[in-house]
Structure 1
Amino acid sequence: YDHQNMIIKKIELQGFKSFPERTKILLHPGITAIVGPNGTGKSNIVDALLWVLGGQRSRSLRGERSGDVIFNGNTKKPPLGMADVVLSLRDDDEELTINHRFFRSGESEYRLNGKQVRLKDIQDSLWKRDIAGKEYFVIEQGKIGLFLTSKPAEKRLFLEEAAGTAFYKDKKRQTQNKLENSEQNLIRLEDIIAEVSTAKNSLQRQASAALKYRKLREKIRQLNSLNYRKKFLEIEKNLQEITLSYENSLRQEKELISQLKAEEKNLGQKRREVWNLENSMKEGQKNLFALNSQVSRVETDGERETRRIEFFEEKKNKAIEDTAEHEKELLHIDKERAEAEENLKILGQTQRQKQQALKKTDQAGQASQEKLANWGKKLETLRNEYFEKLSSHTETRNEGVKVEKEKELIHRQEEKLKSQLSKERTLLQQSENKLEQNKKELIQAQKLKDEKKKAMTARQKELDGTLSESQSLQNKISELKEKKDQETHHLWALEKLEKKERSTDFSKDIPEALGLLADLIETDDEHAPLIDIFWKEETKATLVHAQDFMKILAEKEIKGNFLLISPKKKEASPISSKLYKDPQVVGLFKSRIRPRPKIKDHLSHLQEAAIVKDIKSAVQLWTRFPSSNYITLEGDLLLSSGLLKMGQKEEGIFTLSQEIKKIKNNIARIDKNIDPLTLNLKEKIEQKQKFEEELQGESALLSQLDRKIEEIEKESKYDQTEKERIAAHISLFKNEIDVFTEDRETLTKKMESVSLKAKALKEEENSLKKKIEDEEKEYADYQGGDEQRRKNFFELKAGVDLLQEKINNLNQRLQTQDQRKETLQAKLNSLQEEIQNCDTEKLKLKENIKNLSQSAKNLEEDRKKQERELARSESHLQNMKNEQEDMEKRIEQSREEHEDKKEERVKWEISKAEIDRDFVNLEESCWQDLKKSLQEVKKEIPEEKIPDTAIQEKLAEAEEKLQKIKSVNLMAEEEYSIQKKRFDFLTQQKKDLRESIDTTREAIKKIDHESKHQFMKALKEVNKNFKEVFSLLFKGGTAELKLADPSHPLESGVDIAAQPPGKKVQSISLLSGGEKCLTSLAFFFALFRYKPTPFCILDEVDAALDEINLARFLELMKKIKNQTQFILITHNVKTM
């Protein structure tokens, strides 16, 4: 085998169609046959080979959708999420590995030698290694018979592959696309250049206006500097004069203030003397008031002492009454005490008698207690013996009970174990049943999971379809919006130009005006430029009746362009009928215009023109009919005056208005197209959301199923473990039951021995019990007599105790009476002492009243003396106040003089402040206007350089000129520079683009020439090979390849003519199926002779051949197997 060509080394498949597991197929040089019954996936290997090499269409891969290439599951295996095919190619020098993966999500990736690449990169790499398209190396059973009846253009494709012109054809297509894009870019660039040029020219005018504006501003700035300098000097001069007057007024005011202060000082001294005298008088008045108060207080104290004497008299009488009552109570207490002492003596005698009887009874009781104690000790000894026997018997019985309980416990435990054993056997059965139920549920859940996965796959496909449709709608809407934005931008530019053109519209100045002429007429798009050229000034003029214009003109001044309408109908110069009928005349200018109804009768006075084909015709007609105007379809204008205007392409207001209307209609149409698409997109988005929600729901349900399956598996595992545990418990319970049976027998024997021992101990216990009962009966009889003795003793003891309690009560009573007697005696002594004190206090109070009367007399004398002194001080005070008033009047006159001077000083101060304010305002204005201080202005312009001319007049004149200038774009110079650079750049781009277009066209010519040469050479060689191979396969006959249209070899299809030996066939479609198959194979092998393909796939192409033709075909294939690797899929036994 010739290893110069690259052949297929191996192909690996995983998840592709019917190959879920990774499958590796090795292919050898020469011929490799793939055989097998139908449905085993032979053709899927061919599909995988085509798919990995870039096959995209689902039908060529025998599927409806791209996702059909992924393994979709069967009864044993679930669907997969990815299809992966790896193809290894090799030759003597290198090995090439191509990998294609596709996921259910729609993602796809290609890899070349392990690196992720584009499909185009793989195709380019295959082109370089002479591996052509699929049609060249794949020959299928269904298509081999249809090849001869295919179109000539389809047959040509095979020859182009062999000739290598398919590469040139693809390059030509790319170059043509590039050329078309360049031409489109050139058109767009020219539009942009036109817009930029318009903007540049406009900015140039604005830049000139801005320059003029700046110069005027600079002049105003200079005049302002002079004006501020002049005002500054005037303010300085006024400030000096006012400052001098202000300082004189201030000096005089200060002298008056000094004089006023001296007088005020004397007045203050006088006021202090008056104040001191007033204080002295107030102090005297205060003393007089104090003396009056002391007199009143002494009189009040005398009255108070008199009332105290009366109080002590009442207190003495009350003490005498209390003393009589306490003496009476003392007599009553002495009587009660004598009675209590008599009763105490009687109770003492009775107590002594009962204490003697109690002593005798106590001695007899002690003897009886001693006898009972000895008898009790004897009984205690008998009881101890009884209790020992009883304890032994009880222990024996307890031991028997213990054995019985142990036996019963063993029996219960044995029964419990048997019950547990029964339960465990039931649990074991339940566990086995549960395991079986879990197994069924697991199978059911797996089945439901598979169904949900299929449903999710179907829903995902629907979602993918909806996403694709949504994306397509979004793309369409984006295209329309982009187109709308372009139209809107164009509209904005046109409206800006139109606004500039409409600056001549003065309709607002004349309410009766009809408007601009451009707004009142219509025409077709192709004639709009002619109106702007011929009626350039008229279309910009405001249409108004002459009478209305005269009325407004009488009222106010009007500026602008107006087109007056005469009240009398005026006809323009008529066009000669000979001129109208001349063949060079296309029509009349006004006939192309459609005026509005309100001006239909007012256009007759406007100029008329004849529309001609070109300027040459216009000049010729003008020489014959010089009184008429002429305009060409290109826009050149020849007036009756002989004025010729050529090359006037500039758009006017009418053309702009027409274009604006057209663009607005386009925008409205685009909006109308966008609305249904937007509505449809909204529906698709809602549908997508619905599918996504359903997918989410299905996914959630699938997750629940996965969790349920996992839970069932865990539960089954747990149940299996539980089953094993229960089986172990059953075995353990059986062993424990055997042990309990042995223990129960041992306890039965032990219980019999304990029963005999308990019987003997019971007899001994009964004997002792009878003996104790006899002794206890005698002891109880003696104890009954002793109890009566004890009863008598306690009765006597209780009587003695009661007498003692009575004696104690009487003693307590006597003690209380003694204490009460002592208290009354103390109170009597206190009352006697109080009576004596009252007498003493009465004597003291009478002495005090005498002293107070003497003090009151002395105070009255002092009060009268103080009143005389106050009268003398009041007379002196009045004299001093009169002197003070005289001084105050003199000071008031001085103050008035001071206020006058102060007002004068304030007046000059206000004038100075006003000058300062003017200076500050002037400083602020200077800074706002010039951004300089007044001092800086004064320094910059010396006083001698200030001109004597009227600066204010020049400044007002300059500002008036500045006001007349309309709004100025101060950035226009910078913007103009930017636009000019952009214009120059775009112009250069246009030049480069034109050179690129010329170069591209030249390249297409070269490609066409090379393609023609290569194709004709291949056609000649393949035709020669075809004749030879056809003759070889049919053992004679003739065959030929020819162009359907020899005059156009680059586009012409290819026809096949074939005549098998012994037949004269009129049409190739009349050949039998085997003959068609053999003829097609002859054509393909003729191609392989000219350009051998590295490998060729033959998919059941031998199905239609009989044995003789099959033998010839196989013989031919053997001859060229050293040049081409054949992969043969067949059912034919002879082929195998």
Structure 2
Amino acid sequence: MFLHKIKLAGFKSFVDPTTIVLPGNLVGVVGPNGCGKSNVADAVRWVMGETSAKHLRGDSMADVVFNGSTARKPVGRASVEILIDNTEENSNDKRIGGQYAAYDEISIKRKVSRDGQSVYSLNGKRCRRRDVTDVFLGTGLGPRSYAIIEQGMVSRLVEAKPDELREFLEEAAGVSKYKERRRETENRIGHTRENLDRLQDLRDELARNLKHLERQASMAEKYTLLKKEERLRRVQLSGLHWRAFTNDLSEQESKVRNQEETMAERLAEQRRLESSLDAQRAEHGVAMNEFNDGYRAVLDAGAEIARGEETLRNLRERATRTEKALVKELDAMKEARDHLTAEQESIEGLEKTLADKEPALSELERVVAETAEEHAKAEASMQEWSLIWEAVGLRVAEAMREVQAQEGRIEHLKERLANSSERYIRLQKEQDKLDPRGLQQKIEDLATQAREQDAIRVRAESEHEDHQSALQDLRQRIRQLSGTVNTARERIQEARGELSSLQALQQEALGKGQGAVTDWLRKNDLIDRPRLAEKLEVVTGWERAVENVLGAALRAVCVDELEAPSSTLAELREGAVTLFQTNADTGKAAISPHPSGGETARLAEKISAPWSMDTLFAGIHATTDLERALALRATLGWGESIVAPTGEWLGPDWLRVHRGSDPTAGVLPREREIKRLSGIIDTLRVEIEREENAMEIAHQEREAAEEEQSASRARIAEAKRIHATLESRLGEQRMRFDEATRRGRMIAHELAELREQRLQARSSLEEMQASLEEQKADRDRLIRERDAEAAKRGECQTRLTDSRARWQEARDNSHRLAVEVASVRARYDSLSQAGSRNRDQVAKLEIRCRELQRTLTEMDDPLRKQETELAGHRARRQELETILQEARRRVEELDLAIRESDRKRHAISEKIESDRVTLERMRIDRQEIHVRREAIEEQVTASGHVVAEVLEHLPTDANEADWAARIETLAQKISRLGTVNLAAVEERARQAERKENLDTQHQDLVDALETLREAMRDIDKETRNRFTDTYEKVNHQLGVLFPRLFGGGHAHLELTGADPLDAGVTVMARPPGKRNSTIALLSGGEKALTAVALVFALFELNPAPFCLLDEVDAPLDDANVDRFRDLVRDMSARVQFIVITHNKNTMEIANQLIGVTMSEPGVSRLVTVDVEDAIAMVEG
């Protein structure tokens, strides 16, 4: 096995598709720091199934996808593929076996997207991670095997825990696959024990159920017999009901005929009365027309009278209204003349009052003007003093505010100085309490705990992924098994439906239904004996011929002997039955020679049965068709016949053919189909049971896998929780450390500022106090000026008050007199206007009175004319009312006659309706009796009987009451049986068969459990031998390689326990001249050399196909590098080495150099150099 190529795309810094070709056994990968060399080792580790992002130098699996650079965007997917040469010439004594042994080249590929979901494929086919790891079991390769040594791993290898170091030895010994098999065997043993417990529970439960089913089956058989008798009695009772309904039907039909005759007589009487009523209604219509004409004339006369009376009333009302209006207008005219006289007298008095008051008002207005001018002068003096007082007050207030502000600033500055001193003392105390060194130590302790917990989480996630993969396989297997079972069940359901139909037809054709023959066979214990048709096997194509020959004999009941049944034939009252003795010794039946020289075969040769059929088919020959049979008829002897496949049966002088509804037609093909379907059903039932058992086992395995998955999920959650807690505490401590550092710097800076501020504050305080004294002197001078101005205020205020009082008194007197004058003048104007209006109104009223007098005179003639016309209309109406009275009398006489006729017609109609209802009820009763009789007849027919035959077999004295009592007695017997399980008989047989199968399975599981235990003992023995042998060989090789690398000293391995199966392994190493007690005391370079010695010792024992070394020589000096280089060169003859290095001495041994560059920031590219070609080019 040889690593041929590595293909990367989107993986870490290899964003572009890159192919790394590894042509030789010693290839070097070189390049500057940070160019992406170690990503090559990460890619190989990742593609072989690494699930821990920490081992790939990331936080999550999505970190392996190229995350972008300054010039490129991130990609969404990463993939790595390795191509392994598996040919003989490149095998290195290691080839992949199993199903991939036949492949010369094996491709292993892994892809991952941003969501962290990985997809594996083997040779282009999608697979599980476990399939990839299984490929490398026993080869020394794997994501964490000793074949891939990365930076820092060499020291971790020798410092690994004993159990971890043991895993490397197990891989070298090739026992990892045995451990996996042992784990699977232990799981299988556990599952087998669980299955045994479940199976034992099922067996115990089935045993209890079988005892219960025995009792239920006995009750079911008794129930069946009683139920059959009850059904027969019910059929007979239905026959008695049918006979009673028939008698009732005849009686009811006679009643219906009588009622129909009575109803016909009454219908004739009704038609006669309706004819007479129509004539009377016609005469009544003529009289009613005459009455209506007279009535309309009377109404017209009444309307003329009403119109005349209305006109007369209107004229009289109009005259009355006119007279009243005339009186009213005369009164209004008198009142207006009185008002006019009074108003004239008032106007004269007001003119005199105005002449007296208007001169006094002018004098008062002059006095108001003089007092107003004096008040204005006093008010101006007061305003001038107010302005001076306000200016002085403002200057005093401003001076006082400045003094107060200065005092406040001084007080505030003193307070700042006090606070600054207190602040300075507090900061000094806080600075003393800060402890950055203690916080740094806590951070280191928590970081160590977090790294350990993260390693635990990674291991748990790896286990969880394995459980998840196994669980998905089990679920897929369960789905496949469930689909198979469902398909089989559908097929068996279809077959059962078809079988049930065929069996029902077959039973009917073979006469297995209800009847006297069935009862006779049951009584003689022959009901379960097979029919002849069920035992015959006929050559395909000859069924119709055999059915035609045997006819009703196909229904024959097969018995062992005829004597016992024959003795009870007298009990068979009706029906036909054929018995066929299967073990009769009738001697060799005479075999007739073949007609026409052996051109035909005997029909018996077309049939196979468990016994001889010669007695039924003696002398019957078979030929190919009817024409041939007719041609051979002349060669037949006495008692011989010939039959064609299509069913035509010929003798020397006769021919028999059955066509149409022959009850035995199709019995033999149907029987063959029934047997075929029964075989299919049995096969499907076995298949379903086998698949269900497999599905049950798969369910159990799935439950166990789910429990393991839940446990691993819980471990992951717990590890994450602890890690999160530690990270939280670590972050908190780091924040506290950063805060303490930052706070220390801030305190120092603030103390320096406080010292400077205190000096400045003291200087400012002295300046402020001097300024305050000057401001107080200015304030006192301004207060003295304000007091002098306050003495002038009284004089100005007295002068202003006196002038305001004189002005207000003169203004009030003038206003009061002005109001009185205005009131007198307004009243004078109002009376003048009212007098003018009254004179106009008197003139209008005089004109209105003259008009009303003329109207009264003109209304006398229309009143007299209207009274004369009204008297004439009243006389005409009296004449018309006399004529109308006569017409009304005639109409009433005809109404009375019509009502009498209608009463008679209504009475006869009610009788007819009553008769119709009675007739309809009789017909319904008749129909009900008919329907009930038909329903009973259908019930009897549905039960397989004929009503006439049932009544014929009933005793002559049978009656419904007796039969109902018998049925009630049977029902009570059935009821006393209680709840009956009719399927108990079949269920008992099925459960017994199932218990037998379970007993067999129980024994098989016991045997399988012992086999598994034996296999586990063999695995433990082989594992112990292989591990012990490997341990000794690796220990020997370590003792040889260690002095070679160190130039002396010695090293060896030690087991930490007595049992090699579970003991851990530790490394003890002592370089030349040292007596250290543990590996931890060695330097970094010594640890690296010790790890290299151990790895190469493993390679000497079980060389992995290739080894990838990532800067293993980094901690070594030149001398140690030379020894390391020589050892690698020697081992490259057997193992392919890919060495990632910075050391020039190591580069010298490589046959090919692959350079990794990063000319574009963040993107790795390859530069490949073949050293031999380069040397040849230089020398040339």
Pair in the same fold by TM > 0.5: no
TM-score range (shorter-chain normalised) is 0.3 to 0.5
TM-score normalised by length of structure 2: 0.38
**What is the TM-score with the length of structure 1 in the denominator?**
0.39
